[in-house]
Amino acid sequence: QAGLTQPPSLSEGLRQTATLTCTGSSNDVGYEGAAWLQHHQGHPPKLLFYRNNNRPSGISERFSASRSGNTASLTISGLQPEDEGDYYCSAWDSSLSAWVFGGGTKLTVL
Amino acid sequence: EVLLVESGGGLVQPGGSLRLSCVGSGFIFSKCWMTWVRQAPGKELQWVATIREDGSVEYYVDSVRGRFTISRDNAKNSLFLQMNSLRVEDTAVYYCVDPDLSWGQGTLVTVS
């Protein structure tokens, strides 16, 4: 099954702002929007947003999400050391009837 | 608090079977599509299977179709994954997921 496209890595400075992108198609990201996950090694993925910009309870407001066409974006402001990790996007592909994932972006906080 | 708790992972030989279970709490389980996602060591997240809220329709990734079966018991807030004809490449941590709510802690399946 086809996947979503994420840049493999991103580095930003402490207390700066990072913007991660996720590009799909009208069948997935452009259909019902994307979910964003934060994943630290040895821990389960943590849902940050679902269907674009719906934030589950307990997620910091330093995290925000948006979508433009078939590209979803995750913005993290005031970067902290604990924000380092892997970030994945996912979406339901209506043409494949399947969940598709991006390959993940490894965020480094300098 | 939304909780998803998996169980049933373990070590199994190639060709063997395992049944994973997941119990959900803190949300209306019977109204949610539920999903299994896995992550092999050092690899990316991979969607495995999804089932609609009433169990009427199931969806599978090509690599497990015909070998794995997803099912649910809404009366017990439970999700299952029956895995047959297991292969070495099925080795992974398996997560129970409600994509709009939460992920479970995962259960490790090792096929060796």
State the Cα angle at A30 between A33 and B103, rounded to 5°. Answer: 25
The Cα of B41 is separated from the nearest Cα of chain A by a number of Å equal to: 11
Q: What whole-number percentage of chain B has pLDDT above 90?
A: 93
Cα gap A44→B105, rounded to integer Å? 5
For A15-72, the pLDDT digits (tens) are 999 999 999 999 999 998 999 999 998 899 999 999 878 888 889 999 999 999 999 9
Structure tokens at A2: 């086809």
The Cα of A5 is separated from the nearest Cα of chain B by a number of Å equal to: 13
In chain A, which residues touch B (CB < 8 A)?
A: 1, 35, 37, 39, 44-47, 50-51, 54, 56, 88, 90, 92, 97-101, 103-104
Structural contact between residues A14 and A107, judged by C-beta atoms closer than 8 angstroms = no
Q: What is the pLDDT, as a whole number, of residue B104?
A: 96
- Taking an 8 Å cut-off on Cβ atoms, the answer to whether B102 and A56 are in contact is yes
Contacts of A103 in chain B (CB under 8 A): 44
Question: DSSP secondary structure string, B46-103?
Answer: EEEEEE-TTS--EEE-TTTBTTEEEEEEGGGTEEEEEE-S--GGG-EEEEEEETTTEE
Structure tokens at B13: 């030989």
Query: Average pLDDT of B10-30?
Result: 96
Q: What is the pLDDT, as a whole number, of residue A2?
A: 54
For B29-67, the pLDDT digits (tens) are 999 999 999 999 988 899 999 999 999 999 999 999 999
